[in-house]
Structure formats: structure tokens, C-alpha cells
Amino acid sequence: MAPNQVSVESQTKLVIYYLLADENEIESRMLNASNVECDGIGKTDHSADYKNDSFDPVLIADKLRSVADAMSDDAMLRAALADLKQAAADEVLDAAFCQCVETLCKSHASKGAEVAPEMQLIRASVAFGLYVKKISPDLKDKVQGALTNFLNRHVGTWVSKQGGWDKVPVSG
């Protein structure tokens, strides 16, 4: 059974949290998970609301990180970052993030024509989000929100039709 849109939005928020998380945040989640009782009581990490064992936001974030690596050296990322920094100052980050991802998708469309358009959006947005975190860590929280909003708006319905983030065919 496919998850509803609300649960996909919650999944997306968790996946992006762990995608942009620092190592200590991920390690903290792993320690909390190791102390979880079988019925989920006592679970204190961000995925406490999920009873479905197949949904692991850390694993999904790792997969997304690996597919985004191919775009990590793109010169367009540097240009897009300048636009995003200005947008953050102007408080229009969501719109600028969307514009940057669409530009990246257009530049990479011919390189991955066999890739579903939703996966192109996912790859481009994740690559851009990781690049911004690496180069401008001060924007991490704002980019986390913008990336989550972007994915929920642009691919949330598609992710839901796939059965949730744990069923999205992410490959390198």
C-alpha cells in the first residue's frame, strides 16, 4: 500500500535531515536506534513515528548522496550558489532554490535522457543541497527547508506512487 501524501512529506523531511546531517547527528541516531525496544517504545530519534521497518531515512539519504556525487563538480553549482546566497539575504530562498535546480536539470537532461524526470529533479536538488552545505554551512538550515519543500512539491506525488522513499528506484 502506498503511503499517503502526508507521510511522504514526513519521510522527505527525515531523509533531507539526514542527508544534510553532520556525522555526529547520524551517529546519535544510530545510538538511539540501538536502544530501541521491539515495539518502538523508547525510540527517541527523528524516525520515531515510523512503524514500517523498511523506511530508513539514513540509508535513503546515503543512496541519494551517492547519486548526487556525479554532479558535485558541475561549474553551474558555483554560479547557482551565488544566486542562492543573494536569495537568502532577500528571504526568497525557496524560489531561488527551485530556479537553481531547474537550471541544473536542463544542463544535465541530455546526459541522462533515460532517467525519469523525477529522478533528474531529485539528483539535481540533492547535489545542489549538498554542495551548498559543503561550501556555505551557514545556509544549511535554510537549504534543508528549501530542499524539503522542493522535493515535496515537485516529486512528492511521484514518491507516494512508488510506495514511499524506501521504494524509490535510486541508483548511481
**Cell digits for 130?**
549538498
Same domain, 79 and 150: yes
Same domain, 57 and 95: no
Same domain, 55 and 82: no
Better-predicted residue by pLDDT, 71 or 63? 63
Same domain, 109 and 56: no
pLDDT tens digit sequence for 66-84: 877 766 666 777 778 877 8
pLDDT tens digit sequence for 6-41: 699 999 999 999 999 987 766 666 655 544 443 433
Same domain, 86 and 38: no
**144 within some domain:** yes
- Of the candidates 85, 86, 82, 117, the one whose C-alpha atom is nearest the C-alpha of residue 102 is 117
**33 within some domain:** yes
Q: What's the pLDDT score for residue 8?
A: 92
**36 within some domain:** yes
Same domain, 60 and 75: no
Same domain, 149 and 132: yes
Distance CA 123, CA 20 (A): 14
Same domain, 91 and 113: yes
C-alpha distances (whole Å) from 67 to each of 15, 24, 64, 81 are 14, 23, 5, 20
- Structural domain boundaries enclosing 48: 5-66
End position of a domain, from candidates 18, 38, 66: 66
Same domain, 86 and 137: yes
Q: What's the pLDDT score for residue 51?
A: 47
* Confidence class for position 146, pLDDT limits 50, 70, 90: very high
User: How many domains is the chain partitioned into structurally?
Assistant: 2
Same domain, 77 and 134: yes
Distance CA 144, CA 54 (A): 23
Same domain, 17 and 42: yes
Are 8 and 159 contacting, i.e. CB atoms less than 8 angstroms apart?
Answer: yes
Please report, as a single letter, which amino acid is at residue 97: F
Its pTM stands at 0.74
**52 within some domain:** yes
Same domain, 59 and 22: yes
- Of the candidates 5, 45, 52, the one whose C-alpha atom is nearest the C-alpha of residue 27 is 45
